[in-house]
Amino acid sequence: MKRMNKLAVGILLLGQTISGAAFAATVTLAGTTASFTFDSALSGLFGAPTVIGDTLYFTPTTYKAQSFNGSGLASASQTFNIMVNANPGYLVSAVNLTENGDYYNMGAGASVAVGGKLYVRDLESPLAPAAISKIKATLPLTDVTSMANFETTDWTSLAGVAIPAGWGGADGIVGGVNVTIENILLASSLTSGSAAFIEKKFVGLNVVMAPVPEPSTYAMMLAGLGLVGVAVRRRAKM
């Protein structure tokens, strides 16, 4: 699929809409071997992103959930779409997500949680099922603090998708993907005097790129597969 066709599909996946004569605010940031296109008006709690290498990252300052004095469950959530296009001569091989922040639980019945999902779709087959990875904390968010010895605890959550076999159309070269990051923070306090707080301070989306194999490499791979098939058939006849 030509790059312009991928861009058109990506715009649809990003949920671009027309209001009167106005288009959504589309921004493209260039990485080392890939570019990131998104609607800046929809970044919400993530804030404005920055690119270093092939990593798009956010440093939010207002992305938090908090609950005090038995007020029950509180949540904060944000979903954001990004189209990733490989530079000429490269392909997308994996997409990884890292998040960081801190939290505290104080008193009986206080708890916090972090979750969500990472969705990746092939731009050449946007209606096919997405590859999905759950966003999960690396450690349980169960540390407890107190007024006398107050401190927050750092947390990290991870998700990752390896590009599945069969993506990339007839040539198998995945030149572009659409990435959806669904982020959820939860805080709950069930008793008077309890408090729960969790905040997201960093979101990093790293795209693992690889050079497009030379045509001779494809030929060698196909020849090797052919020899394997011949050997299997011979063994089956013995």
- Give residue for tokens 């990252």: 57
Tokens of 78: 């944000």
Q: Is the pLDDT of residue 33 over 60?
A: yes
Q: How many Cβ atoms from other residues are within 10 Å of residue 60's Cβ?
A: 22
What is the rounded CA–CA span in Å between residue 49 and residue 46? 8
Task: Place 226 in a pLDDT band, splitting at 50, 70 and 90.
Answer: low
Q: Which long-range contacts (CB under 8 A, 24 or more apart) does 142-146 make?
A: 142/105, 142/111, 143/103, 143/104, 143/105, 144/105, 144/106, 144/110, 145/104, 145/105, 145/106, 146/106
Helix or strand holding residue 75 (H, E): strand 72-86
Question: Could you tell me which residues come within 8 angstroms of residue 213 by beta carbon, excluding any fewer than 6 positions away?
Answer: 221
**19-28, 108-117, 190-199, 217-226: which has the minimum mean pLDDT?**
217-226
Sequence ranges of the domains in the chain? 3-237
Q: Give the lowest-confidence range in 30-34, 81-85, 110-114, 215-219.
A: 215-219
88-111 pLDDT, tens digit each = 999 999 999 999 999 999 999 999
**Taking the alpha carbons of 86, 87, 89, 95 in that order, is the dihedral positive or negative?**
negative
Say how far apart CA 70 and CA 171 lie, in whole Å. Answer: 58
Task: Report percent pLDDT > 90 for the chain.
Answer: 78
Q: How many CB atoms lie within 10 A of CB 134?
A: 12
**pLDDT number for residue 234:** 53
SS (H, E, C) 86-103: ECCCEEEEEEEEEEEEEE
